[in-house]
Structure 1
Amino acid sequence: MMNRWIFGIFAFLVTFADASLASERSACADEPAPDVVSEPAPPRPAAARVAVGAGALTMPEYPGAAHTRILPLPFIDAHVGPLYLSTLKGIGLELGEGILYGGTSVYVDIGRNESSDPARLAGRGDIGLAADPRVYLGLRHALGTMALAHVETSLHRHLGGSDAFLADASAGVSLSLGRRQWTLDGSASTTWMDARYARTFFDVQGSGLRDVTISVFASYAINERWSVGALARVGVLVGDAGSSPVVATRLQPSTVTFLRYDFR
Structure 2
Amino acid sequence: MMSKCYVRAGVVASVALVAGETSAQETNDWDVVVGGGAFFGPEYLGSKEYGFAPGIIASVQKGPYFVKFNGLTATANVLPFESFYAGPLIGYGTGRKDVKDKVVDKLPDVDAELWVGGVVGGGYAGLLLQRDSLGANLEIAHDVMGDSGTTATFSVGYEINATERLAFGVDLSTTFVDGAYANAYYSVTSAGSAASGLNRYDSDAGFRDVTLDVSSRFAVNEHWGVGGMVGGSVLLGSMADSPIVKDRGEATSGHGSLFLWYKF
Pair in the same fold by TM > 0.5: yes
Cα distance change of structure 1 residues 131 and 202 upon mapping to structure 2, 3 Å threshold: same
Which residue pairs with 2:256 in the alignment? 255
Hey, what's the Cα distance between the residues in 1 that align with 2:35 and 2:146?
30
Q: 2:134 matched to 1:136?
A: no
Cα distance change of structure 1 residues 255 and 207 upon mapping to structure 2, 3 Å threshold: same
Hey, what's the Cα distance between the residues in 2 that align with 1:186 and 1:145?
18
Hey, what's the Cα distance between the residues in 1 that align with 2:88 and 2:236?
27
CA contact (8 A) 1:63 1:201 kept: no
The CA RMSD over aligned residues, in Å, is: 2.5
- How far has the Cα of 1:77 moved from its partner? 3.0
Hey, what's the Cα distance between the residues in 2 that align with 1:71 and 1:114?
15
- How far has the Cα of 1:83 moved from its partner? 3.4
Deviates more, 1:235-244 or 1:65-74: 65-74
TM-score (norm 1): 0.75
Indicate the structure (1 or 2) with the bigger Cα radius of gyration: 1
Question: Match of 2:221, SS?
Answer: coil
Cα distance change of structure 1 residues 169 and 74 upon mapping to structure 2, 3 Å threshold: closer
CA contact (8 A) 2:2 2:43 kept: no
CA contact (8 A) 1:114 1:125 kept: no
**What stretches of structure 1 move > 4 A for 4+ residues in a row?**
none
Hey, what's the Cα distance between the residues in 2 that align with 1:250 and 1:66?
9
Hey, what's the Cα distance between the residues in 2 that align with 1:185 and 1:51?
19
Question: Match of 2:238, SS?
Answer: helix
Q: Identify which of 141, 149, 171 aligns with 2:134.
A: 149
Deviations 1:90-118 (A, max 9, x none): 32321353443222221222211144322
Deviates more, 1:153-162 or 1:104-113: 153-162
Hey, what's the Cα distance between the residues in 1 that align with 2:209 and 2:100?
21
Which residue pairs with 1:86 in the alignment? 69
Q: Identify which of 48, 51, 57 aligns with 2:33.
A: 51
CA contact (8 A) 2:203 2:239 kept: no
Q: Identify which of 237, 243, 247 aligns with 1:245.
A: 243
- How far has the Cα of 1:197 moved from its partner? 0.7
Which residue pairs with 2:96 in the alignment? 112
Which residue pairs with 1:210 in the alignment? 208
Question: Match of 1:197, SS?
Answer: helix
Which runs of structure 2 are paired with 1:222-241 in the superposition (5 Å)?
A: 222-241=220-239
Equivalent residues, number: 221
- How far has the Cα of 1:254 moved from its partner? 1.9
Structure 1 unaligned regions, length at least 5: 7-44
CA contact (8 A) 1:108 1:132 kept: yes
Question: Match of 1:72, SS?
Answer: strand
Cα distance change of structure 1 residues 105 and 46 upon mapping to structure 2, 3 Å threshold: farther
Hey, what's the Cα distance between the residues in 2 that align with 1:141 and 1:80?
20
- How far has the Cα of 1:244 moved from its partner? 0.7
TM-score (norm 2): 0.75
Structure 2 unaligned regions, length at least 5: 7-26, 188-201
CA contact (8 A) 1:189 1:214 kept: yes
Cα distance change of structure 1 residues 89 and 186 upon mapping to structure 2, 3 Å threshold: farther
Question: Match of 1:252, SS?
Answer: strand
Which residue pairs with 1:185 in the alignment? 169
Higher relative contact order (CA 8 A, sep 6+): 2
Q: 2:149 matched to 1:167?
A: no
CA contact (8 A) 1:134 1:154 kept: yes
Deviations 1:219-261 (A, max 9, x none): 1011111110112231100111011111100112222211112
Which residue pairs with 2:42 in the alignment? 60
